[in-house]
Amino acid sequence: MVDANLVKGECTGTIKFTPPLYKQRYQFIKDLVNKYKLRKVADLGCADCSLLWMLKFCKCIEVLAGLDICENVMKEKMHRLSPLPGDYLQPSERTLIVTLHHGSVAQKDPCMLGFDLITCIELIEHLEATELEKFPEVVFGFMAPAMVVISTPNSEFNPLLPGVTLFRHPDHKFEWNQAQFQSWALDAASCYDYTVEFTGLGAPPPGTEDVGFCTQIAVFRRKYPNTGETINLEKSTENPYRTIFKAVYPSLKDEKYLRNAVVSEVINTAQIITRRLLDSFKSDYKEHRNGLLELKPDFQLPHCFTRHSKNPSVAEAEKLADDINMETYVSGNAVYIPLIKFFSIPKVNKLCGTFENLSKLITGKVALSNDGSAVVISTEHEHEEKEIE
């Protein structure tokens, strides 16, 4: 079947792939990650970190690691892996740690243990013979991830590429044909208890189907789960890699960021309730400024503030209502909003989990009544505005 992304110039005969093959390779990995909901991924030969940058947007990803022998190449673009201001303003529910290491794929380091997927995109053809010999033992024997993806150029496709004489890149030490790559991959899979499937990207033009894909890919899957051997390896192995970058993204699993998110939601909601309450009873508020004003029966909070009885956590919390004054009221220069009302908001409920946790997270950050049952919002500023009017 002809690749729909292949474009052949009518005059020059030049073969081009749209999107470019390197983008298709990255997309292949991203699709694999999303399909299997992989959480921990390491990219060997990560170079400018483009693949890692793409993967950090996958919602299932929690740990990303990159390894390359060229430190300068990683440093040129590693800033792209740092959290952005928006990541702090709206922390994710997941954790995300991104680390870059300087080192060789021919060396073993415990920091590469425990990954779901290890990718080697256009890497092996850059290895010297001695490194290639050690590579299977390091990746499949030591690192032993659940999955390994290896891509490499298919030398049989080279005659179709203009300007390619021997290898596609001057740093390539070799380029294998389909039989050579599959033989090597099958040997590695057999030796280390993996299965392997072959595919590729960049199909040839009509009439040349026998040459195979421009990029050939092997997808390895470990037959059996990891045993406790990796624990012993971690204790006994040296650490030849040097960490040159580490980023820990803000997460709602961190209590500091969770508290900020809950406090922000409570304050914003309280201000909206207060404004609508005072607007609704503007005339009464002026007359009874220093007294007690309860909500009228026909006062309705916005839909987003109403209770959702179908939510088990909310229903459980509402059992507390008998012991809590459920009416929002104005007393003096303050509005008192029962805390239980905030827990009934789906977003707050999801963030906190329990009513007790809500109370714990906002205590000391939000003004509460003496008994802690209500959020207190001062209306002094509101009064000043009304007097000016």
DSSP characters for 312-366?
Answer: HHHHHHHGGGGGS----EEETTEEEEEHHHHHTSHHHHHHHSSHHHHHHHHBTTB
Helix/strand/coil for 166: coil
Helix/strand/coil for 64: strand
Judgement on whether residues 232 and 346 belong to the same structural domain of the protein = no
What was the pLDDT predicted at 218? 99
CATH code of 175's domain: 3.40.50.150
- In a domain, residue 234? The reply is yes
What was the pLDDT predicted at 105? 98
Residue 223 token pair: 């037959």
> At residue 157, does pLDDT exceed 80?
yes
Judgement on whether residues 291 and 306 belong to the same structural domain of the protein = yes
- In a domain, residue 20? The reply is yes
What was the pLDDT predicted at 279? 79
The residue among 114 and 225 whose pLDDT is bigger is: 114
45 and 67 Cβ atoms separated by less than 8 Å: yes
Query: b/e for 65-91, b at 16 or more Cβ within 10 A?
Result: bbbbbeeeebeeebeebebeeebeeeb
> At residue 183, does pLDDT exceed 50?
yes
Judgement on whether residues 223 and 351 belong to the same structural domain of the protein = no
Judgement on whether residues 182 and 127 belong to the same structural domain of the protein = yes
> At residue 134, does pLDDT exceed 70?
yes
CA distance 248 to 56: 12
- When pLDDT is cut at 50, 70 and 90, the band that residue 299 belongs to is very low
> At residue 1, does pLDDT exceed 80?
no
What was the pLDDT predicted at 3? 46
Judgement on whether residues 158 and 36 belong to the same structural domain of the protein = yes
What was the pLDDT predicted at 381? 62
- When pLDDT is cut at 50, 70 and 90, the band that residue 379 belongs to is confident
Judgement on whether residues 284 and 234 belong to the same structural domain of the protein = no
For the stretch 81-92, pLDDT in tens is: 999 999 998 999
278 and 379 Cβ atoms separated by less than 8 Å: yes
325 and 338 Cβ atoms separated by less than 8 Å: yes
The residue among 30 and 310 whose pLDDT is bigger is: 30
* DSSP bridge partners of 151: 121, 217
Q: Which secondary structure element, helix H or strand E, spans residue 190, and what is its range?
A: helix 178-191
Determine whether 23 is exposed, middle or buried from the number of CB atoms within 10 Å of its CB (0-12, 13-18, 19+). Answer: middle
CA distance 387 to 376: 22
pTM of the model: 0.78
Query: Identity (one letter) of the amino acid at 376?
Result: V
Q: Which structural domain range is residue 118 located in?
A: 6-248
- In a domain, residue 1? The reply is no
Phi/psi zone of residue 336: left (φ > 0), alpha (ψ -120 to 50 degrees), beta? beta
- When pLDDT is cut at 50, 70 and 90, the band that residue 286 belongs to is low
> At residue 267, does pLDDT exceed 90?
yes
Q: Considering 248, 278, 297, which residue would you say is the last residue of a domain?
A: 248
Q: Considering 232, 248, 264, which residue would you say is the last residue of a domain?
A: 248
The residue among 167 and 124 whose pLDDT is bigger is: 124
The residue among 75 and 5 whose pLDDT is bigger is: 75
What was the pLDDT predicted at 88? 92
- In a domain, residue 229? The reply is yes
> At residue 367, does pLDDT exceed 90?
yes
Number of domains the chain contains: 2
Judgement on whether residues 93 and 208 belong to the same structural domain of the protein = yes
Q: Of 303, 250, 301, 253, which Cα lies nearest the Cα of 276?
A: 301
Judgement on whether residues 286 and 240 belong to the same structural domain of the protein = no
Report, as an integer, the average pLDDT of 283-290: 54
Judgement on whether residues 274 and 207 belong to the same structural domain of the protein = no
Highest-confidence range of 5-19, 33-47, 254-268, 356-370, by mean pLDDT?
Answer: 33-47
What was the pLDDT predicted at 4? 43
Q: Considering 248, 266, 287, which residue would you say is the last residue of a domain?
A: 248
- In a domain, residue 118? The reply is yes
What average pLDDT is seen over the chain?
85
For the stretch 326-359, pLDDT in tens is: 678 888 888 999 999 999 999 999 999 999 999 9
- When pLDDT is cut at 50, 70 and 90, the band that residue 292 belongs to is low
Judgement on whether residues 199 and 279 belong to the same structural domain of the protein = no
> At residue 322, does pLDDT exceed 70?
no
Alpha-carbon Rg for the chain in angstroms: 30
Judgement on whether residues 146 and 260 belong to the same structural domain of the protein = no
Report, as an integer, the average pLDDT of 251-266: 93
Judgement on whether residues 192 and 321 belong to the same structural domain of the protein = no
